[in-house]
Chains A and B, each alone.
Chain A
Amino acid sequence: MSTDRGPVAEPAPPRAVLSGGTWREIVHLLANLPVDVVAFTFVAAWLYAGVLLAVTVVGLPVLTLGLMGCRQLGKAERARARALLDVHVEEPTPLRHRTHGGVGAWVWATLKDPVAWRYALYATIRLPWGPFTFFVTFVALFLAWPALPWLARWLTHVDRALVRYLLAPSDELERRIAALEAGRAAVTDTASADLRRIERDLHDGAQARLVHLAMNLGIAKENLTHDPHTAARMVDTAHHEIKLALQELRDLARGIHPAILTHRGLGPALQTLTTRCTTPTTLHTDLPHRPAPATESIAYFTISELLQNISKHSHATHAHIELWKTDNRLLIHVTDNGHGGANPHHGTGLTGLTHRLQSVDGLLLIHSPTGGPTTITAELPWRDPD
């Protein structure tokens, strides 16, 4: 996920003269002259013209178009660095994803787009640097070719640094927004999937039972006078049916939100949960006090899902849950002695769980070697109740 934006490491020793990597570096350096001149001309023409014309009507559109072009040039530059210099930096978030509103809002967003302005800075710095590297490389190609690998290495090292520092996503904030957008999408998806599941459970379960019940009572009513025997049997069936419907409704309501979680907090709620789990499970909680209801709820449903996975897939004979608080995080540790091999990439509930935890700035770590045991650690922000 993270891009290499830290202090630049010492470059690796240069490769042999004829290695592909060295040749690509040389090609990059030789291309610097035309590329950088064209890029700088573009930036100068559009941006400086736009800034100068800012007092007139055409100023803003010119500047906006120029900045849009900068974004595209930056993209091309990243592609060139990727192909020739092996530098992989993330693409910045597209602008359109974050602007809602009319043309005005869009123009304004483009005008203050840090990605485009940083490219303008990049192109400006490269005007002296690009041609300089071209000439040095060009001369060395004929006069000092044994030194070329070292030279190419050092010169492209600066190129790499420029790409990393100026063309990477502009700042933490941008990526944070992208992560939050993904998180929000995960939350929305989960919420609507949950609603569909509840609707389906109601439809297939309690509703169907109540219809059957109404039918049986209807028949009983018809038969009440002339066939009391049948009537009694129908009432008996209806009585049985409604008890099942009550049971199903209760299970469903508990699945939506267990009342004990609201009333007594995580400890007692998890205790009940472990009792209902088919795999024998022990529980140890060490919490100084109750966190905010949202924190409790996420922790509860995370553990609930992990326990479901354990009883469905792991063949474990024992599981253990631990829950504790560090500075400002709630930590959950679930281990089982099953056969391991739990993998978030196999479309199990773990993928959804990982996304949901990420959406609240939490995380899920899975350690599940084949043959077991499985240890899953979940971490989420601890919020105190209001």
Chain B
Amino acid sequence: MEHSVRVIIAEDSVLLREGLTRLLTDRGHEVVAGVGDGEALLKTVRELAAGGALPDVVVADVRMPPSHTDEGLRAAVELRGAFPDLGVLVLSQYVEEQYATELLAGSTSGVGYLLKDRVAEVRDFVDAVVRVARGGTALDPEVVAQLLGRSRKRDVLGVLTPREREVLTLMAEGRTNGAIARRMVVSDGAVEKHISNIFMKLGLAQSDADHRRVLAVLTYLKS
């Protein structure tokens, strides 16, 4: 079982904030603060950081008061700049490639962007929070689908086998080899083989670190 992570939740709906808190504490994680807007989020993180107790991850809703537009996203981008060690997971009612691009600018370590609905799959969601807290990536399948769908490299992607495409999608979502293997019900070795095939076919350099691998794939898809 994963060890506990320390979380701040920024979500303006009290109902949802309490739901998220409960969901995470039930699974042994610690919710250090819950806030309702972007300003409060920035303030709380700075205070905690000043006291030497920077949390592992922030879970923030994109749309919060007062402007109800993209407060959460802007706060998240700012936090990523100011605290590289802090994981940031952004939740949104809609998944937009543009938001993902802004959030992922520069690096894919310790960052996540998920559709709000994903909280319904409790295990997957908590996995994503933990992954981001530990410097990994969690990208919503819809974002990945959008990236795959509009990639100019469609011809090259066509060379991949359906299995390899599936692995590529899961990899772009930020999942580890183990997680991909479990989801596809194959062995870790089989996944590794698929991944090396994919990297070979796309002409990418292999990389061990998961988040660097995600970055390579995303950069490739967006170029």
Residues of A within 8 A of B (CB): 239, 242-243, 246-247, 250, 253-254, 258-260, 262-264, 268, 271-272, 274-275, 280
Contact = CB atoms under 8 A, between A and B. Distances in A.
Nearest to A240: B120
Interface in B142-163: 146, 149-150, 154
Interface string B69-88: 11000000000000000000
Given A239-B120, A262-B69, A268-B98, A250 B146 contact: no
A263 B70 contact: yes
12 contacts: A246-B120, A250-B93, A250-B94, A250-B117, A259-B63, A259-B96, A260-B94, A264-B98, A268-B97, A272-B98, A275-B149, A280-B154
Contacts of A274: 150
A259 B93 contact: yes
Contacts, number: 44
A268 B93 contact: no
A258 B117 contact: no
Contacts of B99: 260
Interface string B119-152: 0100000000000000000000000001001100
Interface residues of B, number: 15
B110 to A, nearest CB: 24
B94 A258 contact: yes
Contacts of A275: 97, 146, 149-150
A260 B154 CA distance: 26
Contact of A247 (B70, B98, B117, B146): B117
A271 B117 contact: no
Chain B binding site: helix, strand, loop or mixed by DSSP?
Answer: helix
List 3 A-B pairs, minimum CB-CB distance, nearest first: A268-B98, A275-B146, A246-B117
A272 B93 contact: no
Given A239-B120, A246-B120, A271 B97 contact: yes
A260 B70 CA distance: 9
Contacts of B94: 250, 253-254, 258-260
Given A250-B94, A254-B94, A258-B94, A272 B70 contact: no
A262 B96 CA distance: 13
A203 B189 CA distance: 49
Given A243-B120, A271-B98, A272-B97, A263 B146 contact: no
Most chain A CB atoms below 10 A, which of B96, B149, B154:
B96
Most chain B CB atoms below 10 A, which of A247, A254, A264:
A264
Given A243-B120, A272-B97, A274-B150, 14 more contacts: A243-B117, A250-B94, A253-B93, A258-B94, A259-B69, A259-B94, A259-B96, A260-B98, A263-B70, A264-B96, A268-B98, A272-B96, A275-B97, A275-B150
A263 B98 CA distance: 11
Most chain B CB atoms below 10 A, which of A243, A262, A272, A280:
A272
